[in-house]
Amino acid sequence: MLYLSEEAKLGIVSGAIAILILMVICMVCKLSRLHKQPVYKDSSYLKGTDKNTAGKVPVVQFPSFADECSECEQEKRSKMNGDIEMQTSQGLSPPRSKGRIKFTMVYQSDLQTLLLTIIEASQLVGKDFWDTVDSYVKVRLQPDEEGILRRQTDVFRKSTSPKFGESYEFNMLLQDVQSSTLHLSVWEIDKYSRHHMIGEVQVELGQVIKADEPVAFDRDLRSLQKVGETLS
């Protein structure tokens, strides 16, 4: 008969207890994995209609553009892209709204004078996108071979909505006015470099000016310069 010392018996018992503890831990781990809820990136992996599972699984959808947009919206986007491509092919950058400008004109037939009033600008976007802009407006009537059909407003400081309220007279025959183009450009004063043109507006006067009939305008300022062109 095999006799074991007390130390040997204690070692065997300790080893058996350790093995039993490891088996219990393994069983607990397996059970926890069975009950743990999986997380999927797509609802197509879900099985069944378990409310608890459906509420915890995030769903990531990837709808196509054609499914979401109506035919009308697709047509608008297609037209917009076509316009941008046409401008690019002609060496022009897409027009960008840089604010608005309001002005009025009337041809006074008894005085043979075109009266132009620069009322105000609004929502001006400066070069550095600051909250305030020091701005003024340049006025030109073209053609102007002698350079006498130019005007300029005073500087309106620290405002993105300057109220100019200035009027100018041009002594011209009606037919000369109707064959001219009005060019307005809003400029920002830069203390450290050349003044920066915020945007511009051009109006063909032959389509809008009639004797003694005032007309009012509220136009977007656009920046539509030749690609690579710099302002002098």
pLDDT, tens only, 160-169: 999 999 999 9
Residue 85 placed within a domain: no
Q: Kindly state whether residues 120 and 214 are assigned to the same domain.
A: yes
pLDDT in tens, 158-214: 999 999 999 999 999 999 999 999 999 999 998 777 888 999 999 999 989 999 999
pLDDT in tens, 26-80: 887 777 766 555 444 444 434 444 444 444 444 444 344 444 445 545 555 555 5
pLDDT in tens, 99-151: 999 999 999 999 999 999 999 999 998 877 667 889 999 999 999 888 899 99
| pLDDT, averaged across the chain | 76
Q: DSSP string covering 8-33, please?
A: HHHHHHHHHHHHHHHHHHHHHHHHHH
Domain count, the chain: 2
Minimal CA–CA distance to 187: which of 165, 157, 144? 157
Q: Give the pLDDT confidence score for residue 36 in this predicted structure.
A: 55
Q: Kindly state whether residues 107 and 215 are assigned to the same domain.
A: yes
The model's pTM? 0.55
Q: Kindly state whether residues 28 and 115 are assigned to the same domain.
A: no
Q: Kindly state whether residues 111 and 29 are assigned to the same domain.
A: no
Residue 67 placed within a domain: no
120 to 5, 137, 232: CA distances (angstroms): 108, 10, 25
Q: Give the pLDDT confidence score for residue 45 in this predicted structure.
A: 36
Partners of 103 in the beta sheet? Answer: 118, 217
Q: Which domain, by its residues, includes 43?
A: 9-56
